[in-house]
A and B are shown apart, each in its own frame.
Chain A
């Protein structure tokens, strides 16, 4: 069953269209990552899904209902971690979480238990007596995550959870997200760290208010490059490898041939773009039979590059269409 269903969502502020005709389905139990540059409309999209903003056009259903018709019971099924720290610096870590647990209607006994469990989950139990203003930025973010989790929501909206965090802490957040997913929860995560898309089950790429790509990370990668890369290191200069390169042509597209030099002499580095690297590899080795293959690699281009190519392609299409 879909946790989120969006059809032709349009959001305008004044006359300016910020989101233009989005279609999306997020299934239960998956981590959906919405990536995009600053100002692409990620937060607006999430705010429309949480019901903070109303759509200008189109259909939005979250947990089977339009957000505008949410009753308090529906909201108890959702958790929300905003982009900044919005809790109270003058309250202790535990008081903050206690307050949020109260907002979601947790009664005293359960509240006490859940506050402890959640603080332990985000590793803040030892810091529970410190005022929120006196803990680090990373701890504040974890406290904010705890506030989104304390009532055990089915669907969690997380807005830029790792913004301004160091890589180690970012990794920890994603580990926690995966644990939550394993627990059956659905996560809708926005991030401007394109590399984090790799950690999602599915990714939507938002650019200029439009979903320019949607799929698993591998699908997006293939779409960005037109396939997968096989990287070969062959002894000898490219001029001596004419036969080998010709043999590869039926298997895919040679996108790069670069001459190099190492301790064993001249080496040619070849990048071959194929539809499915795993399936193509035995055929490549067969085609290169006779050549001195020093190494074979299946490199995965960074998602930064994937993102860049997809956005460039979209912009190119737009220009062509224009």
Chain B
């Protein structure tokens, strides 16, 4: 083939390709509704997604705090409210643990944090006080937000406690005990070498002693002012320290006068006695271990649900999405196809009513969609080991409800669509919206704004939650979801019946 011939062929090819491209272009331009759907549909979904999804909110569980009013725990909560609420979305306080549990089970809150009534009791006995946290999540992805947030909460709380002094008070007591012991040793040393006490070195030792007592006095003053004072002998110890400092001041004055004055001074032995009393006074102050001093609180987190693995968690969602998508696609195409091929005119002339037509189609597609998805569910169970906690019958009932609602929606799409392409496009948009808004990827309860409104109209929103309840939690079908699915089915089927039966004018 020479170049000229090749060139001729190429030109012809271009003409043909151009003809096909132009035909397709004008074909699309002639369908403004389809173009609107193609453009506006995805844009609206993305806008709704952007406005509705707040990942921070998903990762910040709603926490209800259980605390006994008037207790030390209540005081602790009020004083450290920021630490308790910073890592969670604070949902309030209650003094009724059972009511809190019920709220948790109903999904009104994500976590219940119980503050012990008397945390000091545990701490003073050398044990960490325990924050009991319960949550109820089957989600292996976002469900970990509660334990992670609680871990952070306890860290914050411990850090603040240490900084604010309550825990360090315990540390101060410990430090004070060490200083007193040191002081005792110093005094014994000073007493044994009275001559040396008047020397330069002796003056240095008593100066150190004075510093130690001064520090101990400050420590005990803090202990005395602390809200949860750790021992009744703090006041006694403080008095002893002050007394000791006065006596030490006399010793230091005598030191300035030389060895004779030191020997005549009864202050050293008095000071020694005072320190002994101080040691006795501080002996009642507990000696908490370092890990308790550094982290006076710890958490015990309990999940009321048993989360499955990733596959087990997503399986009910996939099943619900499959049911919705297959049902919507089949139902929408079945009606539109007949309308476009002219069968509707034939039906209109026959005795067949719009309701009978819809009922006949509904029966077939209901059996087909439900049967196919029951087979899928059987595969999930048998081959992937996905459990059906609530039993096969309840699951089949749940799937039947999702199928009914989805078929209703599909028939409505079909009654409104002008072409098969439009129907397919709407079915795809519904699928995308369901993946984003119906609780498949992100928890339904955390959806906000437009996505929440959209989710109410999607059978998958109710279906995903229902199948998760039945399959994973082993519960029955939530009444709210039954009502939602039946409402979608009823409204869409009645509307479809009206649209199909409407006389042409």
B505 & A103 in contact (Cβ 8 Å cutoff): no
Given A82-B342, A87-B343, answer yes or no on A53-B349 (Cβ-Cβ < 8 Å).
no
Interface 1/0s, chain A 43-82, versus B by CB < 8 A? Answer: 0000100111110000000000000100011011010101
Instruction: Give A87 to B345 CA distance when docked, in angstroms.
Output: 11
A80 & B349 in contact (Cβ 8 Å cutoff): yes
Residues of A near B504 (CB, < 8 A) are 47, 52-54
Interface 1/0s, chain B 333-349, versus A by CB < 8 A? Answer: 00000000111011111
A82 & B351 in contact (Cβ 8 Å cutoff): no
User: A226 interface residue, CB < 8 Å from B?
Assistant: no
Interface 1/0s, chain B 476-505, versus A by CB < 8 A? Answer: 000000000000000000000000000111
User: A86 interface residue, CB < 8 Å from B?
Assistant: yes
B341 & A72 in contact (Cβ 8 Å cutoff): no
Instruction: Give A73 to B353 CA distance when docked, in angstroms.
Output: 12
B342 & A84 in contact (Cβ 8 Å cutoff): yes
User: A104 interface residue, CB < 8 Å from B?
Assistant: yes
Residues of A near B350 (CB, < 8 A) are 75, 80, 100, 103-104
For the A-B complex, the count of residue pairs with Cβ-Cβ distances under 8 Å equals 50
User: A32 interface residue, CB < 8 Å from B?
Assistant: no
Instruction: Give A147 to B342 CA distance when docked, in angstroms.
Output: 14
Task: Tell me how many residues of A have a C-beta within 8 Å of chain B.
Answer: 24
User: A105 interface residue, CB < 8 Å from B?
Assistant: yes
Given A54-B504, A68-B503, answer yes or no on A86-B343 (Cβ-Cβ < 8 Å).
yes
Instruction: Give A86 to B348 CA distance when docked, in angstroms.
Output: 13
User: B6 interface residue, CB < 8 Å from A?
Assistant: no
Instruction: Give A78 to B350 CA distance when docked, in angstroms.
Output: 8
What's the least CB distance linking A101 to chain B, in Å?
11
User: B352 interface residue, CB < 8 Å from A?
Assistant: yes
What's the least CB distance linking B308 to chain A, in Å?
42
Which chain A residue shows the least CB distance to B353?
A72
Q: Which of B347-383 contact A (CB under 8 A)?
A: 347-353
A54 & B505 in contact (Cβ 8 Å cutoff): yes
Residues of A near B503 (CB, < 8 A) are 54, 68
A86 & B349 in contact (Cβ 8 Å cutoff): no
B351 & A52 in contact (Cβ 8 Å cutoff): no
Residues of A near B343 (CB, < 8 A) are 86-87
What's the least CB distance linking A141 to chain B, in Å?
14
What's the least CB distance linking B376 to chain A, in Å?
25
A78 & B349 in contact (Cβ 8 Å cutoff): yes
A50 & B348 in contact (Cβ 8 Å cutoff): yes
Instruction: Give A73 to B350 CA distance when docked, in angstroms.
Output: 10
* Contacts from B to A (Cβ < 8 Å): 341-343, 345-353, 503-505
Which are the 9 A-B pairs with shortest beta-carbon distances? A72-B351, A80-B349, A86-B342, A75-B351, A86-B343, A50-B349, A103-B350, A103-B352, A52-B348
* Contacts from A to B (Cβ < 8 Å): 47, 50-54, 68, 72-73, 75-76, 78, 80, 82-84, 86-87, 100, 103-105, 147, 157
- Please, could you name 11 A-B residue pairs with CB atoms under 8 Å apart, sorted by A? A51-B349, A72-B353, A73-B351, A75-B351, A80-B349, A80-B350, A86-B341, A86-B346, A100-B350, A103-B347, A104-B351
- 14 new A-B contacts at CB < 8 Å, known A47-B345, A103-B350: A50-B349, A51-B348, A52-B348, A54-B504, A75-B349, A80-B350, A82-B345, A82-B346, A100-B350, A103-B347, A103-B351, A103-B352, A104-B350, A147-B346
